[in-house]
Structure 1
């Protein structure tokens, strides 16, 4: 009599091909997160976490007992008192108004100039466009502090050949006076960032299909007509992007006025919003009010960018 041995039926879970497919699926899902992990960790530590800490600090007040806090330090929730103190600072409010005026003039001039340069370099009659693109972009590679020092030699009397030549002609120039130093800073910023914004516009121009230009040529459109009717409408997204970046950068202005402060008495420690927050934190040692100022700067930048995007989207519709 022979014994019959029954083999148990193999389930789906015991199927080697099915389990291998599941492992490959899990690996394919986890692989992107493994690759993105270092970037996400740095992004959280260097961007998200400082924002959270700044917002949290803006609602706190640190009280120190004694001359140097040797008798104890207490931290308490201050609600919106830091924001009220920041808004009561007339110099801080004046710095925001000053940067709004700066942005209206400087951003408009810079966007118009970078658009004009991009259109000229991408025209059919342009000679050596690659060379001139590199030349115009070169100032962006110079750090803002170095650029300001270089330009200061053209602003300081006794060092500037421009002032000497104008003086010989009977013209008095004062690039560092109370009424002109803001536009001297605007000149530095325009010189630095026009080439950078031009490259963004050039990239948008290169994305225009060649068939569009051929159709315009068949219709007899000249260079001016092509620029006004084809190129400008199609590079509108690039112009919006560069304008938004420029609006945000205007409120972040810091290095140029801080460097020129050494040669221009018209620039005080709270000449721009960022310089005011820096002074509040490191000169007055009031980090909580400085955090409130930083949050207010971010809110103003967000509000201006949002308003500009709404206005441009409404015009497009």
Structure 2
């Protein structure tokens, strides 16, 4: 009886050791070069500037190490502007995201007629540049002209004063909300469009109504998008500059040069020629913003939170 031997496999070629294929770097090299020039280099230069201080009497600059950072942490104007933007964030961001969420849910529902039209209308303010939006709302807020002045003239006294010291922060919040509701709505609406249809079918089989579907299906699916929108809004709040800086010409007594951290750094640099201290303010504010955004990201992505 003859036995049939199993076919032998051809030996695999020995792997070439000690040789790394670096061709992939050629594809990412353009991005790395641009990233280094427009991000890493400015940040490194700002850090370098923050370690020096200009000498008034002797001329030139002197290395002071962390002295500028200590001065910023003791700067009352910096903390006043930071707390003002923190209050702005705590009030304006939830209102804006709630409006964006309501708009996204309404457009995603099958009960809203002309949903495409409303989507474009709500998103359209985001296409308006921030400078133009601030100028437009400034004409509406003006005490001597615009809608506010007309209402006060109709009522016979100054009732509506959007640019007064008590209302100017809320007025700026209204401008920012008008600008960015559509942007956040689009983020949330895009997340709703990728929810599997099986979840809606299962909810319908279980007898869930519209509100139950929103609470049990849509809102859990929007969690990641809400975290992203919240982080973007936090960064945008601490970077607030255009709106208060433009409205300052209409309300110089209510909006100071240090009204926001960005305005404070800008006026220190271009108004007071304090480039080193301005760079320090920017670095400190950037670190604080990054830490807060990171904490929000960890809290939002934690399961069961």
Q: How many Å separate the matches in 2 of 1:107 and 1:230?
A: 24
Other-structure match for 2:109 = 123
Pick the aligned partner of 1:229 from 207, 210, 216: 216
Q: How many Å separate the matches in 2 of 1:180 and 1:283?
A: 27
The 8 Å contact of residues 123 and 183 in structure 2, kept in 1 or not, is answered as yes
- The yes-or-no answer on 1:191 pairing with 2:183 is no
- The yes-or-no answer on 1:43 pairing with 2:30 is no
Other-structure match for 2:304 = 316
Give the alignment of 1:61-100 within 5 angstroms.
61-63=53-55, 73=60, 75-100=61-86
The 8 Å contact of residues 142 and 163 in structure 2, kept in 1 or not, is answered as yes
Other-structure match for 1:15 = none
Q: How many Å separate the matches in 2 of 1:261 and 1:161?
A: 18
The 8 Å contact of residues 163 and 172 in structure 1, kept in 2 or not, is answered as no
The 8 Å contact of residues 141 and 162 in structure 2, kept in 1 or not, is answered as yes
SS of 2:55 mapped into structure 1: strand
Question: Larger Cα Rg: Structure 1 or Structure 2?
Answer: 1
Other-structure match for 1:5 = none
Pick the aligned partner of 2:163 from 176, 187, 190: 176
Q: C-alpha root-mean-square deviation of aligned residues, in Å?
A: 2.1
The 8 Å contact of residues 148 and 162 in structure 2, kept in 1 or not, is answered as no
The 8 Å contact of residues 257 and 267 in structure 2, kept in 1 or not, is answered as yes
Deviates more, 1:162-171 or 1:33-42: 162-171
Q: Deviations over 1:87-120 (max 9, x none)?
A: 3321111000000000000001011110110000
TM-score normalized with structure 2 length: 0.88
Q: CA offset at residue 61 of structure 1?
A: 2.0
The 8 Å contact of residues 72 and 280 in structure 2, kept in 1 or not, is answered as yes
Q: How many Å separate the matches in 1 of 2:107 and 2:235?
A: 27
SS of 1:179 mapped into structure 2: coil
Q: How many Å separate the matches in 2 of 1:60 and 1:316?
A: 47
Q: CA offset at residue 65 of structure 1?
A: 5.2
Q: Deviations over 1:10-67 (max 9, x none)?
A: xxxxxxxx9xxx9xx99x852x43333222211110111111111121112233557x
In the alignment, structure 2 segments of 5+ residues that lack a partner are: 1-12
TM-score normalized with structure 1 length: 0.85
Aligned residues: 287
Other-structure match for 2:127 = 141
